[in-house]
């Protein structure tokens, strides 16, 4: 049996170090918002032959009158060449500007057959509304989880168990957020999708441990010390948590590798933080939620005796 409660300070230090790394990354890299949340435009063109990034950037800057970041990629599977233009700013581009840019690019490279394949154009007020609703969905998920744990685990002081599970979930959400910042990925709809996925994965792991605590508490007829109860219950759930996390991590890692090979950025920005969130979810369920619950119960007992 592993003494999870006795090693709680080590676990808390590890989480604090991760948080410190994330804060330093925020100071260095900043927090970037994708056009899904702040407005702007991303345009993708297919082309033949060769084009010069600097020349394309100058054409886009002159035509649109805004700072444009240009990146060229090649799809390994199909051999298709692509130009990706990221238009900075908090405003979308008009149809007239889009047409003018298309004409300017084809005038510069008439033999490259430059064709617009995808355009993502978002007005700033739509992006802000999408961000608010996305965060609201995460907040509602948190509240429902606390209520569910509160009702389901009344035998082990359900409200405190729900609050500790919520703290573990916040820990996992911060890890996902720091992953986006550290790897310089702008926050977009993938960020919300990863958060909701990790919330479901992590709380499922935590609930299984809580269920084991409840069963062991009934079996011991409430005579087992809380520290031993949590250590025993968590140790019994350890192999299952590791196996679940490991198999899921391998599946997500394979998806990430294929996304890297075929240059699918939208999948990469989902799979990479998700893989780190899976590790954090298992870690917080095993090492954070249980010890925090014991600390809270002991605090209540000491307060009651005092």
Q: Write down the CATH number for the domain with range 40-122.
A: 3.30.70.260
Confirm if 270 and 190 have CB atoms less than 8 A apart: yes
Instruction: Look at residue 166 in the predicted model and tell me its pLDDT.
Output: 93
Q: Rounded to an integer, what distance in angstroms lies between the CA atom of residue 298 and that of residue 9?
A: 16
Q: What is the 3-state secondary structure (H, E, C) of 82-114?
A: EEEEEECCCCCCCHHHHHHHHHHHHHHCCCCCC
Supply angle C-alpha 203, 209, 210, rounded to 5.
Answer: 85
Instruction: Look at residue 124 in the predicted model and tell me its pLDDT.
Output: 67
The CA distances from residue 16 to 9, 140, 169, in Å, are 10, 26, 15
In the three-class reduction of DSSP (H, G, I as helix; E, B as strand; rest coil), residue 26 is classed as helix
Compute how many other C-beta atoms are within 10 angstroms of the C-beta atom of residue 197: 18
Q: Rounded to an integer, what distance in angstroms lies between the CA atom of residue 157 and that of residue 87?
A: 52
Supply angle C-alpha 23, 163, 288, rounded to 5.
Answer: 55
Sequence-ordered alpha helix ranges (H) in the chain = 8-29, 35-38, 53-64, 95-108, 124-152, 158-182, 189-219, 226-262, 265-284, 290-305
Looking at domain 8-34+126-305, its CATH class is mainly alpha
Confirm if 255 and 295 have CB atoms less than 8 A apart: no
- Indicate the domain borders of the chain: 8-34+126-305, 40-122
Q: Rounded to an integer, what distance in angstroms lies between the CA atom of residue 153 and that of residue 136?
A: 26
172: which 2 tokens?
A: 């996992």
Instruction: Look at residue 88 in the predicted model and tell me its pLDDT.
Output: 66
Q: What is the pTM of this model?
A: 0.82
Instruction: Look at residue 91 in the predicted model and tell me its pLDDT.
Output: 66
At residue 221, φ and ψ (nearest 5 deg) are 55, 40
10-residue averages of pLDDT along the chain (306 residues): 90 95 93 79 85 86 82 73 78 80 89 84 73 88 91 86 92 95 89 93 92 88 83 92 93 92 84 95 93 88 76
* Strands across the sheet containing 68-74: 68-74, 81-87, 40-47, 115-122
Place of tokens 């690019």: 105
């Amino acid at each position: 049996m592993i003494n999870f409660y006795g090693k709680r300070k080590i676990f808390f230090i590890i989480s604090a170090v991760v948080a410190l790394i994330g804060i330093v990354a925020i100071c260095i890299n900043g927090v970037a918002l994708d056009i899904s949340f702040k407005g702007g435009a991303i345009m993708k063109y297919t082309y033949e032959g060769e084009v010069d990034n600097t020349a394309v950037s100058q054409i886009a800057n002159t035509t649109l009158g805004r700072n444009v970041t240009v990146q060229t990629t090649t799809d390994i599977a199909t051999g298709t060449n692509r130009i990706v233009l990221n238009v900075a700013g908090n405003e979308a581009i008009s149809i007239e500007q889009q047409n003018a840019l298309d004409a300017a690019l084809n005038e510069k490279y008439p033999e490259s057959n430059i064709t617009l394949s995808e355009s993502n154009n978002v007005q700033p007020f739509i992006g802000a509304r999408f961000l608010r609703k996305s965060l609201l969905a995460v907040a509602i998920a948190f509240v429902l989880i606390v209520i569910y744990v509160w009702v389901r685990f009344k035998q082990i002081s359900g409200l405190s168990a729900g609050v500790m599970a919520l703290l573990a979930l916040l820990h996992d959400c911060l890890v996902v957020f720091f992953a986006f910042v550290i790897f310089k990925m702008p926050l977009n709809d993938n960020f919300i999708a990863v958060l909701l996925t990790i919330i479901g994965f992590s709380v499922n792991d935590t609930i299984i441990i809580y269920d084991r605590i409840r069963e062991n508490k009934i079996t011991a007829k409430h005579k087992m010390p809380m520290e031993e109860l949590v250590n025993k219950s968590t140790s019994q759930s350890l192999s299952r948590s590791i196996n679940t996390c490991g198999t899921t991590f391998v599946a997500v890692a394979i998806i990430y590798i294929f996304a890297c090979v075929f240059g699918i950025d939208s999948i990469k920005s989902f799979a990479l933080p998700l893989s780190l969130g899976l590790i954090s979810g298992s870690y917080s369920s095993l090492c954070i939620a249980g010890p925090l619950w014991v600390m809270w119960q002991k605090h209540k007992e000491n307060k009651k005796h005092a």
